Homo-oligomer: A and B are copies of this chain.
Amino acid sequence: MPFTCLLLVVNLLFLWGYSGAVRGRTKIAINPEDAAQFGGELRDSDPPEVARVLRAHRNAESAIYPFLLLGLVYVLIGGGLKLASALFAIFVAARYAHSFTYLKALQPWRTISFLIGGLAMIALLLDIAWLLLSR
Contacts and interface: CB of A to CB of B under 8 A. Distances in A.
A106 B33 contact: yes
A6 B37 contact: no
Q: How many copies does the complex hold?
A: 3
Main secondary structure on A side of the interface with B: helix
A123 interface: no
Contacts of A52: 31
Nearest to A66: B9
Interface residues of A, number: 43
Given A30-B55, A69-B9, A76 B108 contact: no
Interface of A: 1-3, 5-6, 9-10, 12-13, 16, 30-34, 36-38, 52, 55, 57, 61-62, 65-66, 68-70, 72-73, 76-77, 105-108, 110-111, 121, 125, 128-129, 132
